[in-house]
Structure 1
C-alpha cells in the first residue's frame, strides 16, 4: 500500500511527456513544411489546389466525435459565452487592432484588420482537443463566425479604411458552406449508419490532421515562394506583425473570458488565436496589394506555435481552478 500514492504522479508525468512529444512533433512537421514550401516550390506545387480540401478534412474530424444534436444542446447551454466571444471577435477586436496599427504602423493596418476580423479557423477544434477546451464554444465560434464574416468584415473594411471589398457574397457563402456543412453532413451520416467506421477513423484523427497541416503549408508557401525569397525585409516585418497579432489575440482571449471556467477560457483563446488566415490569404491576394497576403501567410508560423503558450495557460488555468 505504501507505493500507491506515487502512481498518480507518475501517470501525470508520463502524460506530460507524451503531450510534449506530440506537440513537438506537430511543430517540427508544420514548420518544416513551411520551410520546404519556400525552399523547394517545385516539390510543393502539386499541393497548391488542396488547402481548402484539407480544411474540410480537419473540420470533418472535429465533428466526428460529437453528435450535432449534442452540439446544439451544448451551444444552447453556453449561448451567452459564445455570443459574447462572437461580438468581441468579429467587431470589437478588429476595431481595437486597427486603431493600434493605424497609429503605430499604418501600412500594415489593413492586414491587421483583415486577420483580426476573419472567422475562427477550422483547425481550432483540433487544438481545442489538445488543450481540453470547451469544444461546444469552439465549434460554435467556427460555424457562427464563418456565417457572419461575409457581412462583418467587408463592412469593417469599408467603414475603417474607406475601401470597398467587393467579394461576391454568393461565392464566399458557397466556399464557407462547402468547408463547414459538407464535413458536418458526412460526419453525421457516418455516425448514424456506420458507427464502426467513424470509430476507426477517430483512431487516425491526429496523424490525418498533421498530414493536412503539412499539405496546406506546402501548397500555400510554394505558391508565394518567389516573393518570399525576393523580399526578405518585407517578409521579416510581416512575420513580426503576425507574431504581434498572435500575442494580441492570445491576451484578448484570456481577458474576454477571464471570469469563466478554465475550459471556456481556453476555448476563447483558441477561437481568437487560431484564425482562418487561409481565407484572408485567398481573397487578399486577389483584392489587395502584396503586404496583406504576405502577413496572412506568415501567420501560419505563430498559428502552430501557439500550442506552446496554450499548454502553459492550460496548466496555469487548471491549477488556479483547483
Structure 2
C-alpha cells in the first residue's frame, strides 16, 4: 500500500516545509510563484484527460455533481462553522474556505468527476462564500466575479486549453511528458511549499502551541472531509466514491492561503498552509480505504 513514490513525495514535501520555516530567506524567493506552479501541476494532470469525454459525460454526472457541490459549498461549511464555534471558537470563521481539488490520479479515482467539481465549485464560490459569511458571522466580504474568473482562467482553463492543443497537435509528446510527470511534480510541490511556509515562518516559530493545535485541527478536518465524501457517494462505483472524497479533502490550498490572508489574520492562512500535512499524508490511508472498496 505504501509505495516508493509515496515515500519520496512525503520526504520532499516535509523537507520543503522545514526549509521554508527554518530558512525563510531562501523560501521567500518562491513566494510570488505558487499559483504559476499550480498551473503546471494541473497541466500535467490534464494530459491524461480526454475533454471530449468530459463533455459527453457531464449530463450523466449532473445529479452527483449537484449533491457534491451542495455538500462542499453549503452543508460542510455550515456544519463545521457551528461545530468549531462550539469547540474552537477561534477557528469558526475558517471552515467556509473549501475550494477546488486536483489530486485524483494518485488514488485511481474518477478524474472526470474531479475535474467537473474543480470547474463547477470554482464558478460557484464567488456567490456561495460571501453569502455564507454574511449569514453565519454577519460580516460582508466582496469577491469580484471577474477577478475570480481571471484566476480560474489562469489556474485551470489555461492549463486545460494547453493540454487539449498538445493532445491534438503533438500527440507524440504526451507519453514523454507523462513519463517525467512525477519528478517534475516533486519539484513543483517543493517550490510551492517553500513559498507558502516561508511567508508564515514567523508565526510557526513564535507560536508552537498554536501551530500544534492547528495541525490537529487540519488532520481532523481532513478525516471529516474524506468521511463525508465517502458517505455522500455511498453505493456508487469505487472510482466515484474516491472522487467524492478527493473533491472534499484535496483542496486548492494556495488559493485559500492567498484569499484568506486578505480578509483574516494569520490563523486562517496558517490553517490552510498546515493543511498541506494531511493533504499529503492522507493519500496512503485513502488508497487503503479505496483498496477495500474493490
TM-score, normalised to structure 2, is: 0.96
The alpha carbon displacement at 1:75 in A equals: 2.5
Matches of 1:227 and 1:104, distance apart in 2: 23
Report the equivalent of 2:44. Answer: 61
Report the equivalent of 2:142. Answer: 166
Report the equivalent of 2:30. Answer: 47
Matches of 1:112 and 1:234, distance apart in 2: 17
Aligned with residue 31 of structure 1, among 11, 14, 19: 14
Greater CA drift, 79-88 or 252-261:
79-88
Give me the CA root mean square deviation.
1.4
Q: Which secondary structure does the structure 1 equivalent of 2:224 belong to?
A: helix
**Contact kept in structure 2, 1:38 and 1:221, CA below 8 Å:** yes
Matches of 1:57 and 1:109, distance apart in 2: 33
**Higher-helix-fraction structure:** 1
Report the equivalent of 2:3. Answer: 20
**Contact kept in structure 2, 1:150 and 1:173, CA below 8 Å:** no
Report the equivalent of 1:111. Answer: 94
The alpha carbon displacement at 1:120 in A equals: 2.0
Q: Tell me the alpha carbon deviations over residues 147-185 of structure 1, each in whole angstroms, 9 at most, x when there is no partner.
A: 111111111111111111223332222112210110011
Q: Tell me the alpha carbon deviations over residues 24-69 of structure 1, each in whole angstroms, 9 at most, x when there is no partner.
A: 1111111111111101112211111110011111111111122211
Runs (4+) off by over 3 Å: none
Q: Tell me the alpha carbon deviations over residues 127-156 of structure 1, each in whole angstroms, 9 at most, x when there is no partner.
A: x11211111111111111111111111111
Matches of 2:6 and 2:56, distance apart in 1: 31
**Contact kept in structure 1, 2:73 and 2:96, CA below 8 Å:** no
Q: Which secondary structure does the structure 1 equivalent of 2:94 belong to?
A: helix
Report the equivalent of 2:255. Answer: 279
Report the equivalent of 2:56. Answer: 73
Gaps of 5+ in 1: 1-15
Alignment pair present for 1:214 and 2:194: no
The alpha carbon displacement at 1:227 in A equals: 1.8
Greater CA drift, 224-233 or 267-276:
224-233
Report the equivalent of 1:121. Answer: 101
How many correspondences in the alignment? 294
Matches of 1:279 and 1:65, distance apart in 2: 24
Report the equivalent of 1:138. Answer: 114
**Contact kept in structure 2, 1:47 and 1:216, CA below 8 Å:** yes
Matches of 2:69 and 2:10, distance apart in 1: 28
Larger radius of gyration: 1
Q: Tell me the alpha carbon deviations over residues 96-143 of structure 1, each in whole angstroms, 9 at most, x when there is no partner.
A: 1111111111111011232xxx22233x2xxx1121111111111111
Q: Tell me the alpha carbon deviations over residues 191-235 of structure 1, each in whole angstroms, 9 at most, x when there is no partner.
A: 111111222111111222222111100010011111211111221
TM-score, normalised to structure 1, is: 0.88
Alignment pair present for 1:292 and 2:292: no
Q: Which secondary structure does the structure 2 equivalent of 1:111 belong to?
A: coil
Gaps of 5+ in 2: none
